[in-house]
Structure 1
Amino acid sequence: MGRYIQVEDGVNLFVQDLGEGIPVIFLHGWPANQLMFEYQFSKLPMNGYRCIGIDFRGFGKSDAPWDGYTYDRMADDVRAVIDELGLENAVLVGFSMGGAVAIRYMARHQGHGIAQLALMGAAAPVFVKRPDFDYGLMTADDFTTDMIEATYEDRPKMLSKFGLQFTHSKKRAGTMVWLESLCLQASHHGTIKAAIALRDEDLRGDLAAVNVPTVIFQGMKDKICDPQFAQLLSESITDARVVPFEHSGHAMMFDEAEKFDKELLLFLDQVAATNQIPRPASQNL
């Protein structure tokens, strides 16, 4: 079921809410929307999980205000959704930019309502190379030219080029067309301003505040987020483990879908066991 939730500055966020049980909050990557998790939304409710997908402001069906695309603002939006839905002992799942916002949420809001964290190809701790950060697969100048300026000039062309780096599998042409269609639903200015946040934000000071069990999924052939990010995150988050996807690019949920679903369900089941939360019996297809 989809609904709109109005946040503090009057922006309406579109939120998908499916199933019953332990809440699992999904934060999508740039510049897609929560529909990128549609396969998980179809499967997890059959295993006793409630899937909650949030379209960030400027993306999907959410409002697209002129301002408000910092990680702080997007983390505050997540808090507004959690409070409105009264969520407790939830699992926060963040992919790519969504992973970065999830980390900022854990630091800025002291992990309010969250029992465990899953980071997937997270654009963190810093997305681009800097003089004091020698990781990342591009410099800030290259990102400005290839992603931000290219979006000003020809957004569909930029998205087509970006999509070629998204997965490792060459058999996913149909999936890439579908994902590109999701990205085209975003606002033009929201796409640009969120890209500026990707380029400029720094999460190194946030990581010590993550104090819940954390799993880090990382495609080892990722051409968007440096695979070394996963190791850096695991070294700075107290209770974290890395699950490598050896045959995946950035989007391991498509390149190694079976392994992804298995590992995600294993992690979610740990939430139920740790918090002694009963789950409904699994349903067969």
Structure 2
Amino acid sequence: MGYFVYVEPGVKLYVEDINPESSKTIVFLHGWPLSHKQFEYQFNVLPEKGFRCIGIDWRGFGHSDKPISGYNYNRLAADIRHVVGALQLNNVTLVGHSTGGAIAIRYMSRYNGYGVSKLVLVDAAAPVGFTKETADQLLQQALRDRPKMMRDVTDTFFFRYITESFSDWFFQLGLQAAGWSTKAVIKMLRDEKLYTDLPKLSAPAFIIHGIHDKVIPFAQAEELHQSIRNSQLIPFHYSGHGPFWEEREKFNRILTQCIGE
């Protein structure tokens, strides 16, 4: 089922909640500039295995409201805290991909992992996001020709071959975002760092990362593993930035194993 949760006056987030009667809950935070729909190939499988899957669209993206402000790690993490509180979630596994992984890190650090028992970071944009050069290029593209920017993002995202139909679907996910939120998060990824957050993480962390990732280098996953105590690094040898699709069977199996431990 889908519904909205207010996170501040006039701003509500879209939540996709599949199999809500299950007590084994996974909360998914998508990457930039996508939406919860990027996890379709998890939502197709995991609820049938008895898991509750909750996908949250950040403010400015997917079906959520798109205010002009609030695009920084503190506010985006606060939004997730409101959803966790509103749904009275506890003992959940928090899965964050790319920028969603960075938001998950700030959430765990700022709120002492409230309601979360395990953390899964997937090609996380942490402890840093975009370089200044990459961010400035993306900003120029976003202001001049955002569809071209999204097409270029799609072309560099995956290591494995994707069909033209899949590319078109993925491309459209990125265009659901507002132009201003797309731009604001590029600046956030350029300017905000997460080094001081990492030592504060206490929940078991599983770091999944494609070794062929051209967006966030695998070296950053190794740095996270060194900086986060009680973490495990799981390389995906046939993936770029999208192991949730490129090696989806392995990805889904790892998720169920993480939760079962």
Shorter-chain TM-score bucket reads over 0.9
Partner of 2:182: 191
Partner of 1:60: 62
Give TM-score, length-normalised by structure 1.
Answer: 0.89
Mapped to 1, the partners of 2:165 and 2:211 lie a distance apart of 23
Mapped to 1, the partners of 2:45 and 2:100 lie a distance apart of 21
Partner of 1:87: 89
Mapped to 2, the partners of 1:178 and 1:6 lie a distance apart of 28
Partner of 2:220: 229
- What amino acid maps onto 2:136 in structure 1? T
- What amino acid maps onto 1:68 in structure 2? G
Pair 1:142-2:134 in alignment: yes
Mapped to 2, the partners of 1:259 and 1:11 lie a distance apart of 36
Mapped to 2, the partners of 1:9 and 1:30 lie a distance apart of 24
Mapped to 2, the partners of 1:208 and 1:217 lie a distance apart of 19
For the residue of structure 2 that corresponds to 1:259, the secondary structure is helix
Which region of structure 1 is more displaced relative to structure 2, 28-37 or 42-51?
42-51
Render the CA deviation track for 1:170-220: whole Å, top value 9, x for unaligned: 244332221111111111101111111111110000001110011000000
Cα offset, 1:8, TM superposition: 2.4
Aligned-residue CA RMSD in angstroms?
A: 1.0
Give every structure 1 segment of 4 or more consecutive aligned residues whose post-TM-superposition deviation is greater than 3 Å.
none
Partner of 1:280: none
Summarize the Cα distance change of 1:256–1:172 in structure 2 as closer, same or farther, 3 Å threshold.
Answer: farther
- What amino acid maps onto 1:232 in structure 2? E
Mapped to 2, the partners of 1:9 and 1:242 lie a distance apart of 40
Mapped to 1, the partners of 2:125 and 2:79 lie a distance apart of 19
Between structure 1 and structure 2, the one with the greater Rg is: 1
Structure 1 segment 1-285 matched on structure 2, within 5 A: 1-19=1-19, 20-128=22-130, 139-145=131-137, 147-270=138-261
Render the CA deviation track for 1:130-158: whole Å, top value 9, x for unaligned: xxxxxxxxx3133212x111100000000
Give TM-score, length-normalised by structure 2.
Answer: 0.97
Which region of structure 1 is more displaced relative to structure 2, 254-263 or 179-188?
254-263
Aligned residues: 259
Cα offset, 1:9, TM superposition: 4.0
Consecutive unaligned residues of structure 2, counting only runs of 5 or more, are none
Mapped to 2, the partners of 1:255 and 1:51 lie a distance apart of 20
For the residue of structure 2 that corresponds to 1:117, the secondary structure is strand
Mapped to 2, the partners of 1:260 and 1:249 lie a distance apart of 13
Mapped to 2, the partners of 1:172 and 1:96 lie a distance apart of 22
Partner of 1:278: none
Render the CA deviation track for 1:27-76: whole Å, top value 9, x for unaligned: 00000000111121121111221111100000001000000010100000
Mapped to 1, the partners of 2:49 and 2:134 lie a distance apart of 43
For the residue of structure 2 that corresponds to 1:12, the secondary structure is strand
Partner of 1:131: none
- What amino acid maps onto 2:184 in structure 1? K
Mapped to 2, the partners of 1:194 and 1:142 lie a distance apart of 13
Mapped to 2, the partners of 1:176 and 1:21 lie a distance apart of 35
Summarize the Cα distance change of 1:227–1:172 in structure 2 as closer, same or farther, 3 Å threshold.
Answer: farther
